Structure 1
Amino acid sequence: MALSKIFTIRYYAKNTGFFLVIFYFFFGIVPGGQLLSYHHTLIKGFTGSMDFLALVCLAWLLYNLKCIAFVVNVLSTKEHTFLYGTLGLLDGVTKWRTWLWLHMNLYAPVLIYSCIAAGIAIQLHFYPSAVIIGLFNIIMLIAPLWLYDHKMKHPGTVSFLARWQQWLNKTIRKSLWALYGYELLNNNIKSLAIAKVVSGLVVIATCSLMGTYDERFILVGFLVCILAQVILIYNHRRFDDLYLSLLPQLPVPVWKRYLQTGLLYLVLLLPESILLAYKVWQQAAPAHLIMLVATGVSVLMLLRSLLYFPRMDQDRYFRWVLIIIVSLLFLGLARLYWYGIILLQVPAYTIFYNRYYRYEAPLEKVD
């Protein structure tokens, strides 16, 4: 009971908002009478496609890492050092049973849903998917137990994430234009991972739902992927305001800074671009793939340029996001793809050129 208060109850209380969003997405947006058919179709979709199943497993892995990080953080706090004198004394089967029960309580939402998914996969004769789901969840339950036991035996050790950050910072030389990318990998990896998982699911769903190949259908899916990145672009301004406010004083031409920003966003879109190319490379013309990537980078460049207007708050920013995406959808329907890229790049570079040196970070964001 004491462990439940320390770990389980505190975990679900701390992540109430997260679970409300997940509950709304999986249950709130679906009418009650269609709830079972909705989830049956969803499970049929990802158990019938190995690519889709791989992304679902990745999402489950991220949730499991969230559970592990919570337990490790609790064990690392000063007020819970007494746990080393209680849990640390457990041995043998009792120790592993205690850690397994504790972790299962946190991993329960995924465990329950995955068991249902495995049952439906067997019913639909998707036996390889059922085996993968079963083995995956066994690993998700057993692997953390070793980590918890290692933490109890070595309480002063640095976490894997901290070691990853240290290795990244010491090993790789950072260019100024790529600093925000390293910031995402270091301190905002959760937001980056969520954006990439959502984008991956969108790409797979788009390619799965498309009958005959149509680049306009692919463009719509890729624009939805861009929507998953917009909050990362909005936070780019805050990062520059806080840490790179002196960057404009360096003797670098504006056109070069613009190209460097575009290169950063090209790297940011690489996972979706590679996955999309893998899914449609037998059907899509190379020009179509280049067009999609160029459109994505151009949208992000325009959104970043708009943030050089000091009064561009979050509400105005998302209004512009909607206007830009809707405009591109109409141009895509008319197959005016390259005109759309030009219509994005011209204002993006014009705003960037005229506002870059005139932009001043608001004082409240710098303090």
Structure 2
Amino acid sequence: MAGHFDRFVTRSRDRGTVVVQPRMGFGSLRAMRDGLSQVASLGLPSVGTLTLDSYTRVGDYTTPLERLAAGEELNGYPLVSHPAEASRALLEDLHGPEFPVQVRHGTALPLRVFQKLVEVGLDATEGGPVSYCLPYSRLPLAQAVEAWAEASRYLAGETQYGHIESFGGCLLGQLCPPSLLVATAVLEGCFFRQHGLRHISLSFAQGVLAEQDRGALRALRTLAAEHLSGVDWHVVLYTYMGLFPKTPDGAAALIADSARLARDTGCERMIVKTVSEAWQIPTVAENLAALRLSAEASAGTPLPATALDDAFYDEVLAEARGLVETVLGLDPDVGTALTKAFARGILDIPFGLHPDNAGAVTSVIDDRGALAWGSRGGMPLPGSTGGAGVDDFGSERLHAMLNHVANRYDCAAASS
């Protein structure tokens, strides 16, 4: 038996619809309630979001209320700073079986956030010991692992249906070959299960090539089925997490393609971006328009199973399975295994600058248009070890990779 969040997603899946979700967050109680209310009123299968502000993410719970008192805006909702009764009032008559709400936060030290979300009556959140440490924090990985273990046990103990979405599939997703995204999501799922959680979702970020993404999402489901027995899990797709098209038509086409990708691969939920991602923090109206666009694009007939790409599936599955099995073999404790894996370069994030990341690997966009490994460092990957090394990977090549998707969609929009 699942709680509001999981039951809602399951019902939508059984109806053949993809749940759509914004990344919306506002500092003031009035603005946040208004945003949630408008999403709830859309009549779409949607999940509400409390995206927390950047001060809360680094453990500063005083500055948010000072800024709000001065009439300034925040880039998210300061859940820990606002009184619990105020947040409960904000959620009243909104959060429930037909409109679950998830807290999205970005902090490597999540316990205080988890305590507050439970206090206000919520039980769904996201992140992970790796995925919210290495890209966003300077916190030592071992410390983040310990903090996430404590917070996961707290959520499991204090809620009946506590749910965490691994952010592992978004780990610098715009530059990371999908096998590492798949492996990290599955490993974080194993970590959460080890610490008592039985309701989990696994993320994956749309990449540079739809065929590769379809194969990777199949691989993610295969490995989740192998390693997450006894767990209620689903897959959530993120619209492209890298540099976004600068034109409204290019951005809209990318969003629609991500929704069709979610539909074709059976993703139960998707995190939606807006056409204004390239130049501003999206407004409520822009979020609503993106949710409508995504729901409409995902409502068509899925591609037949015969059209889903076996070649990329086999490739991503072999790489990701090797990574997962190697890491899990390092130690019975999944958190310790993750720490050892990064210390030995078995897991290594391309272009990741965290001190605990070896930084010996690179990625390239190959002649298929897919994300592939360049230099492989110490990662246990099958196949050739050729490709661009760290030393010969120049800024021009990196810049071209970062802009690859945005330029493709903007050029297509300009020529149509």
For the aligned pair, the TM-score class normalised by the smaller chain equals: under 0.3
User: Could you say which structure has the larger radius of gyration?
Assistant: 1
Which TM-score applies when normalising by structure 1? 0.25
| Structure holding more strand per residue | 2
